[in-house]
A and B are shown apart, each in its own frame.
Chain A
Amino acid sequence: MSVIAFAKNWNGKFKNSTFELVSYTRNLASQLNTQLIVVSIGEVKEEELKSLGKYGAERIISVNDPQMNTLTSRVYAQVISKLAEIEGADTIVMSDNESGKAIAPRISVKMKAGMASAVLELPVSMNPFVVKKGVFSGKAFEHVQIDSPVKVITIAKNCFGFIENQVDVSIEEFSPNLDAALFKIQVLEEEKQTNKVNLADADIVVSAGRGMRSPDNWGVVEELADALGAATACSRPVSDEGWRGHEEHVGQTGKVIAPNLYFAAGISGAIQHVAGISRSKCIVAINTDPEAPIFGVADYGIVGDVMEVLPKLTEAVRNSK
């Protein structure tokens, strides 16, 4: 028995979500009285792998193969399942992000392992194995029992935090001999906005809605985001109108995010919008309408015009530094 944590890297680097994953699985393995094995796929330098030791990764298995730098879910699932078999792992955990969503279901089928996604805390019970997850887009929670001997879960962002627990790291290399026929998808090109804070990872998000009245008014949103080191986001009509790109749309049909701090400027707080932001630690609403439903879910509120309040707020943030 052991716990496997799949530590995804992005261009050879880990993120806060990886540290949270290691912290979570370190704790889970201790509770299950078993070993934690952290698996890394694609080229990652030894020093970067060792950084996971700070959160309790004692044993790392690295598949340091450039051929696997790009995510091919079929290949990744094969490697992780193979390692799980060799190591007799019965609990496989990864972050609930693009890669976790693509890989975990495949492992579930390969290993006939029951799966639960976007788990919100440590298991509610270990035997039977029961986890808590969000359902109905944040409107409720469900306790899901996984009955199969092997279990696969993905964990939601900010479900546990990261806990320092420095250990000595041992790194083993693993070469899985894969069938070349598995690599049936080919990345032709990649576009990245490197100057912007990535919305899914951001600790602070400044989001704006139709209350901005025109795409030309977004300067005040961007300035506040800049002052806070925040990512920008928007409500659905704003992206539907083409005022902002689709990648900024948050809510039930867009991105579901869980930052520490979320600003909703000129957003009414429709149920479908709130579904995507309700796991934020702190919500600030700015709206001219004191009756706007967003104040019902916000922690702090300002009744006022976005065009006046946002620049003042930017100034106050800059002054406080």
Chain B
Amino acid sequence: MKILVCISNVPDTTTKVKFKEDSTLFDDSGVQWIINPWDELALTRALELKEDAGNSVDEVSVIHVGGAQTDATLRKALAIGADKAFRIDACAADAYYVAGQIAAYLKENPFDIVFSGIESSDYNGSSVGAMIAEFMDYSGVSSVTSVNLDGDDVILYRAIPGGKQKIKAELPLVAVVQKGIAKEPRIPAMRGIMMARKKPLEVIAATEMEMLTRSVKFELPKAKGACKMIDAGHVEQLVELLKNEAKVL
């Protein structure tokens, strides 16, 4: 069985977001790039499934759509333990385009399970995984918090409002995963970093594909007004303010 994990390359979560060229472009100067936190958890879980001798997972690879500057992120995925990395050489500007590129690759090189994170922490599109499922005509399960294999079936938990559902799905499958899927993301060890240098990072030419959306401009949120302080000995004043000033009680 082969598992493919979609990787998005995103600014570190502590990044102070700035824009340039009249607020039409993200200013990436000085930005540290990381594997999208959910994708990192997905990769961790995929590797756990591979290591479990009861399963027959023989490959865990990662795929990413982006330019050469993102190779460091893919090397990190290899250092964490992925067998191969594929980079489709294109600018990831629109979810439909990105999903279409990955689907085009999958059509030629089938995988049994595709993992994707619930969203990318930069543009928060929440759509690539489910789009791949549709391009491929695969089943898909979203909001996945746990994945286990049972022969050729996949047993998943999916979060629903106020609870969860246990689901059995057939392969091939796209699982869009979120928090809970793995306990903590794996950190590359020295040996992994050494081995990653020898692992294949294949660069694939992009397929002809349309973009359906475009970014027009960015805005930063308005500065928030000062915080009104209430004395700890007079909390009833807070209740009063929440009722009559903020009108939220």
Chain A positions within 8 Å of B, measured between CB atoms, are 10, 70, 73-74, 77, 96-98, 101-106, 108-110, 112-118, 130, 132-148, 154, 184-194, 196, 198, 200-201, 204, 228, 240, 246-247, 249, 252-254, 260-261, 271-272, 275, 278, 281-282, 284-285, 295-305, 308-309, 312-313, 316-317, 319-320
Contact = CB atoms under 8 A, between A and B. Distances in A.
B232 A303 contact: yes
Interface in B201-249: 210-221, 224-225, 227-232, 235-236, 238-243, 246, 248-249
A110 B134 contact: yes
Interface stretch (B57-65, B66-74, B104-112, B168-176): B168-176
Interface in B173-187: 176, 179-180, 184
Contact of B130 (A73, A188, A313): A73
A299 B228 contact: yes
B197 interface: no
B13 A252 contact: yes
B82 to A, nearest CB: 21
B29 interface: no
Nearest to A247: B159
B133 A106 contact: yes
Interface stretch (B47-55, B84-92, B119-127): B119-127
Given A261-B242, A303-B229, A101 B118 contact: yes
Contacts of A191: 163-166
Interface in B116-154: 118, 121-131, 133-135, 139-143, 145
A233 B201 CA distance: 41
Given A115-B212, A240-B184, A301-B228, A190 B179 contact: no
A225 to B, nearest CB: 14
A140 B161 contact: no
A181 to B, nearest CB: 10
B162 interface: yes
Q: How large is the interface on B (under 10, 10 to 19, 20 to 34, 35 or more residues)?
A: 35 or more
Given A114-B213, A313-B239, A102 B232 contact: no
B38 interface: yes
A300 B238 contact: yes
A143 B218 CA distance: 6
A312 B229 CA distance: 16
Given A142-B218, A154-B126, 7 more contacts: A102-B176, A105-B127, A132-B219, A192-B162, A261-B249, A296-B227, A313-B235
Contacts of A105: 95, 99, 126-131, 134
Given A113-B212, A136-B17, A249-B179, A190 B232 contact: no
Contacts of B141: 185
A135 B122 contact: yes
Interface centre among B170, B211, B225, B239 (most CB of A within 10 A): B239
